[in-house]
Every structure is written in structure tokens, then in C-alpha cells.
Amino acid sequence: MVSPLVALTPKVQSAIAAALGDDFREADPVLRPSQFADVQVNAALALGKKVGAAPRDVAARIVAALDLDGVAEKVEVSGPGFVNITFSDAWLASLLADVDQDDRLGVPVEEPQNIPIDYSAPNVAKEMHVGHLRTTIVGDSLARTLEHLGHHVIRQNHIGDWGTPFGMLIEHLLEVGEDSPEAELLVTDPNAFYQAARAKFDAAEQADPDGSAGDFDIRARARVVKLQAGDPETLEHWHRLVGMSKVYFNKVYQALGVTLGDENLAGESTYNHLLADVCGELEAKGLATVSDGALCVFLDGYTGREGKPVPLIIRKSDGGYGYPTTDLATIKYRVGDLGAHRVLYVIGAPQALHLNMVWDTARLAGWLPDDVTPVHIQIGNVLGEDRKILKTRSGSSLRLMALLDEAVAKARGLIDETRPDLSEEERATIARQVGIGAVKYADLSVAHNSEYVFDLDRMVSLTGNTGPYLQYVVARVRSIFRQAGLDPLTQHAPITLGTPHERALGQQLLGFGDVVTEVGAEYEPHRLCGYLFELAQAFSAFYENCPVLKAETPELRESRLTLSALVLRTMVTGLDLLGLESPEQM
């Protein structure tokens, strides 16, 4: 199963070798979309310089050597030395017939690799913020895509479930009682719980020495010590606290429809028992030294102001371990125990320095061999209308669930207006699919490392590069088949590409395998969004110009129905790789 571009590449390469000599066998043919044909070969321009010949002559020699029998209808040299190629309709139709017979729609199966993906990673007793929302959505799409390409994806949700605030949080939970409304906040509004604990702690710490504000601070500190010492009763309280946070995380995951569950949790606490050994091993290997009482790794190339070396602190002067130590244990585990070929981290862009220092240290320690690639998929900020990081909404602090509810409510408003004929239940389902899809698509359709402004009205719009626009195309194709009383999944007939709109749609359909492969290699879901948006546009142009159910002949009707069914299958599969649902109707 090959796309036109993949099929063409070796043919042009051998023509270049035949024209210019075997040294050029590997030359990049520089295939690009063309305004005047289906594709153009731009290689002659650079090659002309190399061999000291006029690019037009080089282009003519390539054309002379090019064997595109049965593939191209027209091959011509144009401009300063481009080769314009127009594929034959019959050849495109035969490739489409292959895709039509293929359950994978032309997406290849790759040599399977073990790929742990670190994504989502919210913190216990804290609200997930829009940054966590974005790593959750982008990470989930990458997990789905790599899995679809045949890899063994291991989801790793590195939640923040350990550290000094847990003393204060446990004491607060004990004071309010586990069944109290205050404790319930852990599930509904975690920030409020955290802030209440923090306020108590600060008040107790500041107001004393007379102890009038109580000894909450003293108890909280003692609790941290007990927690770290593994005191069973304290661990039990900690488990309950984390358990309540999990309920909250799962609520968000379920609302979002992401593929994360309890079985994917591998939080910071998972690595506690390994931290002492991590430090010991680094010390024994001469990679870590004590500086100002703290155990540090000094790496080449990391310097701060005035050239002062920046250390990676792996044991603080009070003996405690921190975030870097945990991440060292984490990569050691992912490579050593999970057998990772690649390790993906879908994390905010500001953590790049941290990750690079961890990886460099791991390489030196021998925990990260050269043939294992760690990748930081950097997540950019989500901004409010004021172009500042989105943290609050109309004065109150931002609650993720409230935001998702708002998106669904907006979608509901639209559906109520456009489809009053549908039942209450149907409209509720569509509103959920469209509202959540809108938010997810907005995160996915821009480059993952760029900023964007969170604008719900634009996201749920039915026009433009939005989730709802793509979902609408799905619903429209389904309605064609409903109208005809046919099943799109059993619609297979010979395809003819008689008009420019059919031809353009057919070519777009042939590109699906290439784009999914690219997303898996470059970790850029926005490319799939761009592809699906173009597919939606190509379908709309086709549908406006080429009657389907009322086609001139029965053969043409079958061909157009088959093209439409292929659009549906491609769209549904593509949206699923992005994590979007495909509504039955809209």
C-alpha cells in the first residue's frame, strides 16, 4: 500500500541516477505540490549547480530517463528547471481501490517499539490547569497514533503525589474529617482544599510564638517526617488523600474521553525506594559531588550568570530528594525495566532545561544508551483573552470541569437551535461529543509548542479549522447513506475520477497513510488536523459539485458513494487518533 508520493520517489531517484550517474542515487528528488500539475520535481535546480549544467538541461535529462508508464499522463519541464508531473486518473483510481480494500486505509504497520509516554501528570490536591489539559490531550493523541502504527505504548501518568506539602495536606484532612464537605473539595475543587490547608499552616507559623493559632505547623512538619519514614498509619492517610485526588483526575479523564486510567498511574512516589540508590550510584561513579551540603551533578555546558556552573541537585542539604532525583529514577526504570526504544515526555516547555540535565546525567551514568532517544514534546501556554496565561475566568480561579461544562453547554445551545427535531437524549450526546471535541481540537490543531488564545466561541464554531466542522462532515456523509438506506461500511465499488473535484478528493484520500506516519515520527498531531481539515474541504467541494445519489449513471453513483464512504472511514479513523468522537448526526 503506497501513496502517490511514496510510489514516485524511487522512480524519480533512479531517473536522476540514470541521468547524472550513480553518485546521485540517493539524491533528494525534492517533490513538492505543484500549481500546474499534481506534483513537481525540483531537484534539477540544486543538481544543475553541482554538475555544472543548466537546470533546464538537467531537468530534460531526468525526464528522458523517467519511466512513468501507467503512472503519469503528462510530464513536462517548466520554468527554470521544474519537472511537472500529472498522474493518470486510472493510476490514482487503482491506488484508491487498494486503500478501499485496506482496513488500515493505507496506514503502514511499523516495526514495533516500546514507547513509554509521560503525559498529563497533574498534582495531587491541586487543580489541573489548562497546561495539564493540553499535555493530557496532546499526549493521548500521540499514544493513540503510535499504538495505531503498531508500537507498544506504555502510558505513564507521573502524578505529583509526594513531597513536603503532604504533611500539611494530611493534617488538614485529619482535622476536617474524611467524610466532611471540606474533604469532598478534593474531588470537586482541589485548589480550595489546598488553599485551606496552606492558610492554616501559614497562620499557625506566623501568629505564634504564643501558640494562639494552634500548632498546625508543628504537626504538619512532624507528619512529613513520619511520611518519609514510612510510618504505616501516616501512609494510610496519604493513600486516602491520593485516592480522593484520583477520583477527581478520573472524572476529568472521563469527561475528556482520554485513554488514561488507574493502571497508567506511575506517580513520583513510585520511585521513592530507588532514590537512595540513584544517588549512591552516581556518587560511586564519580558523577556526583557534595557542594554546600547538597549532593550535586555538575554537567558540561550548563552555566548560569557569569559562567557559574548550574548543578543538578539530587540530594538537598537536609537529606531530602527532589524532582530531578525522581526523574533520574524514572528514566532508569523506563529504559531498564520497560525496555524503551524511545521515551516521550509531553510536558510544558519551561521544563526543557530540567529534562536535558536529567538525560545528560543518565547518559553519563549508563542508564540511557545512545540508541534510546528521549524526546521532549514541549507544550506551549494557553492564554486568556488578555493574552496572559489562562489562570482565572471572570475573577474566580479557573476550574477545569467548569470549563468543560461550559464548552458542552455552548455546543448544546448550537444543537438545540439547528436540530430541534432530535430527542433530548440525542442532543445531549451530540453536545458532549461536539463540546469536548471542540476543546480537544483547539489544543491539537496548533503546533504543540506554540501559544494560543482560549476562545470557546471560536472552538465550537461550525466553520473554519475546528473540531465541530470536521465532525459535521462525518455527520453529513452518514446522512447521505441513511437517506439512501445503505451501509457505508459495506460500500465498495470501482472508483472513477472523472471531474477535478473527484480527482482532488481522491488524491487527498491517498495521503492519509503518509500523514499518520509523519505524526508518529515528528510528534505533531496538528499535521493530522491540517490533513483532515483539507479532506473536509475537498469533500465539501466534491459534494457541492458532484451529485452523489442523483449521479448521471448507476456506475457513477456507486463510485461517488464509495468515495464518500472512504471519506467517512478516513475521517472517523483520523478523529479517533486525535481522540475526537464522530457523531451519528448533527
Binding residues for ligand ARG, rule: CB under 6 A, are 118, 121, 123, 158, 160, 327, 330, 347
Closer residue to ligand ARG in complex, CB, 171/268: 268
Query: How crowded is residue 230: how many other Cβ atoms within 10 Å of its Cβ?
Result: 10
**What does the angle CA 471 – CA 472 – CA 473 come to, to the nearest 5 degrees?**
90
Please, what is the minimum distance in Å from the beta carbon of residue 117 to ligand ARG? 11
Please, what is the minimum distance in Å from the beta carbon of residue 169 to ligand ARG? 15
Closer residue to ligand ARG in complex, CB, 330/361: 330
Closer residue to ligand ARG in complex, CB, 123/264: 123
Please, what is the minimum distance in Å from the beta carbon of residue 121 to ligand ARG? 4
Closer residue to ligand ARG in complex, CB, 59/335: 335
Indicate the pairing of strand 342-348 with strand 114-118: parallel
Instruction: Report DSSP letters for 541-560, one per residue.
Output: HHHHHS-STT-SSHHHHHHH
Closer residue to ligand ARG in complex, CB, 12/358: 358
Q: The cell 526543557 sits on which residue?
A: 352
Closer residue to ligand ARG in complex, CB, 118/171: 118
Closer residue to ligand ARG in complex, CB, 158/410: 158
Closer residue to ligand ARG in complex, CB, 156/559: 156
Please, what is the minimum distance in Å from the beta carbon of residue 268 to ligand ARG? 8
Closer residue to ligand ARG in complex, CB, 42/157: 157
Closer residue to ligand ARG in complex, CB, 47/382: 382
Please, what is the minimum distance in Å from the beta carbon of residue 339 to ligand ARG? 18
Please, what is the minimum distance in Å from the beta carbon of residue 24 to ligand ARG? 45
Closer residue to ligand ARG in complex, CB, 189/584: 189
- What is the Rg, in whole angstroms, of the alpha carbon atoms belonging to the chain? 29
Closest CA to 118 of 317, 283, 410, 359: 359
Please, what is the minimum distance in Å from the beta carbon of residue 346 to ligand ARG? 8
Closer residue to ligand ARG in complex, CB, 347/474: 347
Please, what is the minimum distance in Å from the beta carbon of residue 358 to ligand ARG? 8
Are 429 and 479 contacting, i.e. CB atoms less than 8 angstroms apart?
A: no
Please, what is the minimum distance in Å from the beta carbon of residue 572 to ligand ARG? 32
Angle of helix 89-101 relative to helix 4-20, nearest 10 degrees, comes to 130
* Burial zone of 544 (CB within 10 Å; 0-12 exposed, 13-18 middle, 19+ buried): exposed
Closer residue to ligand ARG in complex, CB, 223/376: 376
Residue nearest to ligand ARG (CB): 121
Query: 84: Cβ–Cβ under 8 A, 6 or more apart, which residues?
Result: 34, 36, 37, 39, 40, 74, 75, 76, 77, 78
**What distance in Å separates the CA atoms of residue 172 and residue 220, rounded to the nearest whole number?**
9
Chain-centroid distance, C-alpha 148? 13
Closer residue to ligand ARG in complex, CB, 40/330: 330
* Burial zone of 24 (CB within 10 Å; 0-12 exposed, 13-18 middle, 19+ buried): middle
3-state SS class at 577: helix
Closer residue to ligand ARG in complex, CB, 83/328: 328
Please, what is the minimum distance in Å from the beta carbon of residue 190 to ligand ARG? 13
Strand partners, 160: 123
Are 548 and 561 contacting, i.e. CB atoms less than 8 angstroms apart?
A: yes
Please, what is the minimum distance in Å from the beta carbon of residue 388 to ligand ARG? 19
Please, what is the minimum distance in Å from the beta carbon of residue 106 to ligand ARG? 34
Angle of helix 89-101 relative to helix 500-510, nearest 10 degrees, comes to 50
Are 321 and 340 contacting, i.e. CB atoms less than 8 angstroms apart?
A: no
Please, what is the minimum distance in Å from the beta carbon of residue 347 to ligand ARG? 5
Closest CA to 113 of 146, 68, 89, 135: 146
**What distance in Å separates the CA atoms of residue 201 and residue 432, rounded to the nearest whole number?**
40
298, three cell numbers: 555538575
What are the C-alpha distances in Å from 499 to residues 476, 549, 550? 21, 16, 16
Please, what is the minimum distance in Å from the beta carbon of residue 399 to ligand ARG? 17
What are the C-alpha distances in Å from 567 to residues 145, 277, 488? 19, 55, 10
Distance between the two ends of the chain, CA-based, in angstroms? 34
Query: How crowded is residue 410: how many other Cβ atoms within 10 Å of its Cβ?
Result: 19
Query: How crowded is residue 522: how many other Cβ atoms within 10 Å of its Cβ?
Result: 12
**What distance in Å separates the CA atoms of residue 273 and residue 299, rounded to the nearest whole number?**
25
Closest CA to 156 of 405, 330, 289: 330
Please, what is the minimum distance in Å from the beta carbon of residue 248 to ligand ARG? 14
